Amino acid sequence: MTGQRAVRQVLCGAQVFDGVRLLSGQVVVVEGGRIVAVRPDDLALPGDRVTLDGGIVAPGLIDLQVNGGAGEMVGAATDLAALRRLCAAHIGLGSAGILPTLITDTAEVTAQVLAAGIAAARAGVPGFLGLHLEGPHMDRARCGAHDPGLIRAMNADDLAMLCAAAAQLPALMVTLAPEAVSLQQIATLAQAGVVVSLGHSDCSYATARAAMAAGARCVTHLFNAMSPLGSREPGLVGAALDSDCVAGVIADGIHVGPATLRIACAAKPSGMFLVSDCMAFAGSDLTRIVLNGRVVRRESGRLTLTDGTLAGADLTLPQAVRVMVREVGLPPEVALAMATSVPAGVIGAAQTHGHLAVGRSADVIHLDADWRVGAVWHAGVSSQSTD
């Protein structure tokens, strides 16, 4: 349900997270779809006061791995209209900006989704920050729920298509395994502006570090579908924790245990961000979908193939923030940064997203004391949460 934009609104009654700090006694003033002030409260401030019942006012969250939502998956049926629906659904779930994510598919479907993303960028679709291609250039030994029959090495046509798309999208993230590409291909992608992320790989520590030196600067869903940290071979997990690369993590309490998350955050206190890795189930009552001919079931917070393999997450970013605070024990401002300013920085959007600052679009979320979405404002327009 969409509300009317007030001429001037003063959001008060909650703590304010500005992207870095958690502030008390502050208000956020919104006018004309933009933030005009973050300042100490004053009852004399002009505008319609929106009094919130505690909780935290924060920037709209940023999700860099969104496979689907509201009953739809990114895939063969994805066009401009589908991306509009997907972005709108996730705005209601608290994410002001997302990277719709295509998991391993054919070259034809990849080209179609890239074309839809370019159209969305040109149309200025609200909430669309670019695309994430998770595959198909991966290691079959670590395919997870991806169809191993569609995994393949990168060729010259793939490289040219990705570089051309990167020039037309606000951001393009590509998850790949070093085993499926050359170091020169990684360097070419990075030079073209692609955010190269390592994942679904059984590579060694040395191989991962070589890929990072070539231009890879991110790791996809840390700990999942990758070579683990060992006593003598640190693997991709060790390379992620022992480097300047940033790393996404699925904090649903299922993909990675709370103790493991605490260890990772201690090793990498400022280089991790939260992703939902959500599927079509997000924002819907679905209990099963078909993914590349295989059934994915939703049960007790888990999404699995029939053989029990995890197939994405039944998660939203506000829920992930709650896990990081309640189960992992992070300070709220650290957990919130992992869902706002840190991912915005990963895709070069820190000047427009992930912070509450004067002049920014009024993309704001209110989280209640239980970390549930209480209200959402997108460009100053309030809407009812679908959390």
- Length of the chain, in residues: 387
Which residue type, as a one-letter code, is found at position 309?
T
CA distance to 53, 63, 101, 382, 385, per residue, from 90 (Å): 23, 9, 13, 14, 10
Among the listed residues 18, 139, 158, 277, the single catalytic one is 277
Angle between helices 156-166 and 107-123 (to 10 degrees): 10
Residue 244 a catalytic site member? no
Tokens of 260: 């493991």
Which residue type, as a one-letter code, is found at position 378?
H
The separation between CA 13 and the C-alpha centre of its own chain, rounded to angstroms, equals: 28
Three-state secondary structure readout of the chain: CECCCCCEEEEECCEEECCCCEECCEEEEEECCEEEEEEECCCCCCCEEEECCCCEEEECEEEEEECEECCEECCCCCCHHHHHHHHHHHHHCCEEEEEEEEECCCHHHHHHHHHHHHHHHHHCCCCECCEEEECCCCCHHHCCCCCHHHCCCCCHHHHHHHHHHHCCCCCEEEEECHHHCCHHHHHHHHHCCCEEEECCECCCHHHHHHHHHHCCCEECCCCCCECCCCCCCCHHHHHHHCCCCEEEEECCCCCCCHHHHHHHHHHCCCCEEEECCECCCCCCCCCEEEECCEEEEEECCEEEECCCCECCECCCHHHHHHHHHHHHCCCHHHHHHCCCHHHHHHCCCCCCCCCCCCCCECCEEEECCCCCEEEEEECCEEECCCC
Distance CA 248, CA 268 (A): 12
| Positions marked active-site | 277
